[in-house]
Amino acid sequence: MKKKRSKTPRESIRKHFLLFMGPVLAAFSIGFVWPFIQGIYLSFCKFRLIKDAKFIGISNYVKALSDDSFMYSFEYTAVFAIVSLILINVLAFTVAFILTQNIKGSNLFRTVFFMPNLIGGIVLGYIWAMIFDGILSRYSTSILLETKYGFWGLIILMIWQQVGYMMIIYIAGLQAVPDDMIEAASIDGATRLQTLFRITIPNVMPSITICTFLSLTNGFKLFDQNLALTGGQPFIIQSDGSAIKTTEMIALNIFNTFYGSNKAATGVAQAKAVLFFILVAALGLYQLAVTRKREVQQ
Amino acid sequence: MKKKLLSALLCATMTMSLLAGCGQAAATGGAAGSTDTGSAAADSSEADSTDTAASAKAGEGSVYWLNFKPELDETIQALGKKYTETTGVPVKIVTAASGTYNQTLQSEMDKSEAPTLFVIGNAAGVKDWGEYAMDLTGTKIADELTSDAYNLYDSDGKLVSIGYCYECYGIIANPDLIEKAGHSMDEIKNFDGLKTVAEDIHKNAGSLGFDAFSSSDMDDSSSWRFTGHLANLEYFYEEKAAGSKWESCPESLTGEYLDNYKMLYDLIINNSLTDPKDLANGGHDAEAEFKEGKAAFFVNGSWEYAAVSGDVPNATMIPYYCGVAGEEKAGLNCGTENCWAVNANASEADQQATIDFMVWLVSDPDASKAMVEQLGIMPYKNAVESSNGFLKDAAKYEADGCYVMDWATNYQPNVDDYRAALVSALNQYNADQSDANWGLVKNAFVDGWATQYALADVD
């Protein structure tokens, strides 16, 4: 009897596999797999309209890799992603840690910290541009005039937006740390710091894995906040008249290449996008592997 | 058993909601189309009796217009609906948001239901999209034209697109305010006159209650007035000095009139309601400032007439006076970027329906009246006459023997990138008006042209 009952759900799931998974699979194939394959193909083509694509080999990749603005935006994005990864996670963990210490009103704080996440990136970008310029205009400058303002402005914006989300994940992790372990540690005479680093952090390692993965890939993929906050300004106008957009991140660079320039550039933009995918996927997988190793089994 | 029932129910709800989702999307997405076809059937008998588009009966073809002028949207949506009601031909009109026309065009043209009517407004557009436009030579709409001056041809002589209106730009002035400040429009016949008046108004702005120029924001909604239109004076005088109009995008600029651009630009930003340092992120409404009588001058074009003439009935437009010798004989900047192209890949029925619709827009008394009200003027035989004051100003300058400043700005290579770099440089300059920063503007303006030309020319 028992055996039969445990078998039934699995069997019926198997039987109805298509019913449950079919819609998702179809949507995933139409919305992701097919465009992805087509995108890879297009990166080897010259095209204005997709239906008129003409295969031209790897010259798009050569052009993409020899594009100064692409290389610049790659470096800029890498620095941005690392700085934001560290700051967001340290702050989110700290806030989560404080809010799990049974202080009054912690539910209210959790809600408040989470709320910025509900606002779209473009809106945030424009609002923060106004806030920053409200302050900076007192000093006769603007966020659009200095690369460093643009950089730190975007960091502040991202922290403000992301800390609340990461905090929720950390809180879930912190609440799952077994009380008896903490109790045992305090009986053994561990200090609070020792408890934090030897007991709590190893136990929330799964949360750290998720959060670092999310903030790293978010940092690399960042687009709308970047577009709305500075749009790449200020540019360095080089003596030959070409411009390097000093706060342009990699996704915005791809977008600008695709729509900004000439007929031949759409394929180059596709090539950049494929390179970008490989980069983000490799980084994400590597980071997952590293942090997973440090996870402990409870 | 209960569990089974529950799971079956869950499945059902899930599939239902999925289907409902699809259904809704289809319903909203196709709303315009389906109502149009509905009325098409009902009115098909009427279609035969209407003379303007008798050849396009319901069901034979349809029109999809990708419009790039947001201010025109309301008018043409209404006209499209009216056309469907009278002739039964389905008309779909989509307007791309300001500054996103190229993106929208690119994605729309890839669809199976691509626009049948779209806009190719300049030389770069002909280069990019010319192959997708049918040759309009000898079509019914081409026969309606009164002037060939606004048409665009490709290198093989194919008539790629035809102008549906032309416009002019310059500096819009409020003569009443200028008189209030103790001056008159007659003083403004060249840059020195404009400078005297503007600086005097700015000096006394506190007691007068208004300033000389309205704000010249550098955000996307406003920067084109300076990186596109005002820049035209440099291109135009370069053209004029060379002795002939540009026929195609020149490889490089000499920049010899950039100082004149600087003189007028400096005058505009330094005698304005807004501190030049606050222009980078925008947020000021120059049109409202002018309408409310807070500023005497407003750098813009004839399309503003409908908006400002209500509040400033005496508004008039003066040329870009910038200190060039002989500029007392300057007129307004006249030209167009509004040129219709018909999709070469559309079915013949759709092409025919589209051309019939275009003819209706420019010849039906009511339709052309509505169009002219918005657009200012249409160069077509049967279109109603213009009532646009600024275009009348343009005609008056021309009648007085002044030279028309043509839209050389339409040749800007890789226009979005070129202008973006110029905006960034002007932002630096606005914050600190040093020679070094003007050097950046010069780099973007002159060297940027050659760079973008080289980039655009790569095939």
Query: Is residue A146, in this structure, part of any structural domain at all?
Result: yes
User: Which of B357, B381, B405 is the last residue in one of the domains?
Assistant: B381
Mutate to test the interface with A, among B281, B418, B440 (most CBs of A within 10 A): B281
Q: What is the pLDDT of residue B7?
A: 58
Cβ proximity of B319 and B327 under 8 Å: yes
Shared domain for A35 and A92, answered yes or no, is no
Q: Which domain holds residue A33?
A: 2-42
Cβ proximity of A266 and A47 under 8 Å: yes
When CB atoms are compared, the residue of A145, A231, A242 closest to B428 is: A145
Query: Is residue B81, in this structure, part of any structural domain at all?
Result: yes
pLDDT (tens, 9 = 90+) of chain B, 459 residues, equals: 455 555 555 555 544 444 443 433 333 333 333 333 333 333 333 333 333 444 444 457 999 999 988 888 999 999 999 999 999 999 999 998 877 888 889 889 988 899 999 999 888 788 889 999 999 999 999 999 988 888 999 888 999 999 998 899 999 999 999 999 999 999 999 999 999 999 999 999 999 999 999 999 998 889 999 999 999 999 999 999 999 888 888 999 999 999 999 999 999 999 999 999 889 888 899 999 999 999 999 999 998 998 899 999 999 999 999 999 999 999 999 999 899 999 999 999 999 999 999 999 999 999 999 998 888 888 898 888 888 999 999 999 999 999 999 999 989 988 888 999 999 999 999 999 999 999 999 999 999 999 888 887 765
Shared domain for B364 and B401, answered yes or no, is no
What are the chain B neighbours of A137 within 8 Å (beta carbons)?
277-278
Q: What is the pLDDT of residue A242?
A: 72
When CB atoms are compared, the residue of A133, A233, A262 closest to B458 is: A262
Shared domain for A158 and A11, answered yes or no, is no
Name the residue among B87, B60, B88, B65 with its Cα closest to residue B77: B65
| Sheet-wide strand order for B159-163 | B91-95, B63-67, B117-119, B339-342, B159-163, B152-153
DSSP type of residue B272: B
Query: Is residue A47, in this structure, part of any structural domain at all?
Result: no
A-B contacts (CB, under 8 Å): 116
Which of the pair, A294 or B382, is modelled with greater confidence? B382
Per-window interface: B 115-154 vs A, CB < 8 A: 127-129, 132
Shared domain for B321 and B341, answered yes or no, is no
Shared domain for B84 and B172, answered yes or no, is no
Q: What is the pLDDT of residues A232-285, one digit of tens each?
A: 889 887 776 677 899 999 999 999 888 876 667 889 999 999 999 999 899 889
User: A151 Cβ partners below 8 Å, 6+ apart?
Assistant: A76, A80, A247
Cβ proximity of B446 and B255 under 8 Å: yes
Query: Is residue A145, in this structure, part of any structural domain at all?
Result: yes
The CATH number for B199's domain is 3.40.190.10
Query: Is residue A51, in this structure, part of any structural domain at all?
Result: no
Query: Is residue A241, in this structure, part of any structural domain at all?
Result: yes
Shared domain for B135 and B145, answered yes or no, is yes
Query: Is residue B14, in this structure, part of any structural domain at all?
Result: no
Shared domain for A98 and A150, answered yes or no, is yes
The CATH number for A142's domain is 1.10.3720.10
If you measure CA to CA, which chain A residue comes closest to B445?
Answer: A241
Asked if B18 is an interface residue toward chain A (Cβ–Cβ < 8 A), one would say: yes
Whole-number Å distance between alpha carbons of B245 and B238: 10
Q: Which domain holds residue B123?
A: 49-166+337-381
What are the chain B neighbours of A140 within 8 Å (beta carbons)?
277, 431-432
The tally of domains found in chain A comes to: 2
User: A246 Cβ partners below 8 Å, 6+ apart?
Assistant: A72, A76, A147, A150, A232, A233, A234, A235, A236
Q: Cβ B128–A262 below 8 Å, yes or no?
A: yes
When CB atoms are compared, the residue of A48, A238, A243 closest to B128 is: A48
Mutate to test the interface with B, among A46, A136, A235, A247 (most CBs of B within 10 A): A235
Give the angle A221-A49-A281 at the CA atoms, nearest 5°.
25
Both structure tokens of B96: 């791309």
Name the residue among B373, B394, B395, B376 with its Cα closest to residue B163: B376
What are the chain A neighbours of B447 within 8 Å (beta carbons)?
237, 239-241
What are the chain B neighbours of A48 within 8 Å (beta carbons)?
106, 128-129
Mutate to test the interface with B, among A49, A70, A230 (most CBs of B within 10 A): A49
Shared domain for B88 and B177, answered yes or no, is no
What is the secondary structure of chain A as a DSSP string? Answer: -HHHHHHHHHHHHHHTHHHHHHHHHHHHIIIIIHHHHHHHHHTTEE-SSGGG-EE-TTHHHHHHHT-HHHHHHHHHHHHHHHHHHHHHHHHHHHHHHHHTS--TTHHHHHHHHHGGGGS-HHHHHHHHHHHHHHHHGGGT--TTT-HHHHHHHHHHHHHHHHHHHHHHHHHHHHHTS-HHHHHHHHHTT--HHHIIIIIIHHHTHHHHHHHHHHHHHHHHH--HHHHHHTTTPSEEE-TTS-EEETT--HHHHHHHHHHHS-TTHHHHHHHHHHHHHHHHHHHHHHHHHHHHHT----
Query: Is residue B17, in this structure, part of any structural domain at all?
Result: no
Query: Is residue A32, in this structure, part of any structural domain at all?
Result: yes
Name the residue among A83, A63, A60 with its Cα closest to residue A71: A63
ipTM rounded to 2 decimals:
0.78
Q: Cβ A239–B447 below 8 Å, yes or no?
A: yes
Q: Cβ B281–A129 below 8 Å, yes or no?
A: yes
Asked if B344 is an interface residue toward chain A (Cβ–Cβ < 8 A), one would say: no
The tally of domains found in chain B comes to: 2
Asked if B456 is an interface residue toward chain A (Cβ–Cβ < 8 A), one would say: yes
Tally the C-alpha atoms within 13 A of residue A180's C-alpha that lie toward its C-beta.
1
Shared domain for B144 and B189, answered yes or no, is no
Shared domain for B222 and B369, answered yes or no, is no
Shared domain for B209 and B301, answered yes or no, is yes
Q: Cβ B444–A262 below 8 Å, yes or no?
A: no
If you measure CA to CA, which chain B residue comes closest to A127?
Answer: B281
Q: Is the peptide bond before A234 cis (omega within 30 degrees of 0)?
A: yes
Asked if B106 is an interface residue toward chain A (Cβ–Cβ < 8 A), one would say: yes
Asked if A263 is an interface residue toward chain B (Cβ–Cβ < 8 A), one would say: yes
Asked if A246 is an interface residue toward chain B (Cβ–Cβ < 8 A), one would say: no
DSSP type of residue B133: B
When CB atoms are compared, the residue of B102, B416, B443 closest to A237 is: B443
Shared domain for B257 and B205, answered yes or no, is yes
Q: How close does chain A come to B458, measured CA to CA in Å?
A: 7
Shared domain for B322 and B286, answered yes or no, is yes
Query: Is residue B437, in this structure, part of any structural domain at all?
Result: yes
Q: Cβ B443–A141 below 8 Å, yes or no?
A: no
Shared domain for B435 and B407, answered yes or no, is yes
Query: Is residue B9, in this structure, part of any structural domain at all?
Result: no
Query: Is residue A48, in this structure, part of any structural domain at all?
Result: no
Q: How close does chain A come to B433, measured CA to CA in Å?
A: 12
If you measure CA to CA, which chain B residue comes closest to A50?
Answer: B110
Q: What is the pLDDT of residue B376?
A: 84
When CB atoms are compared, the residue of B109, B414, B449 closest to A260 is: B414
Query: Is residue A80, in this structure, part of any structural domain at all?
Result: yes
What are the chain B neighbours of A20 within 8 Å (beta carbons)?
11
Query: Is residue B310, in this structure, part of any structural domain at all?
Result: yes
Q: How close does chain A come to B137, measured CA to CA in Å?
A: 25
User: A280 Cβ partners below 8 Å, 6+ apart?
Assistant: A217, A220, A221
| Phi/psi-derived region of residue A189, left when phi > 0, alpha when psi is between -120 and 50, beta in every other case | left
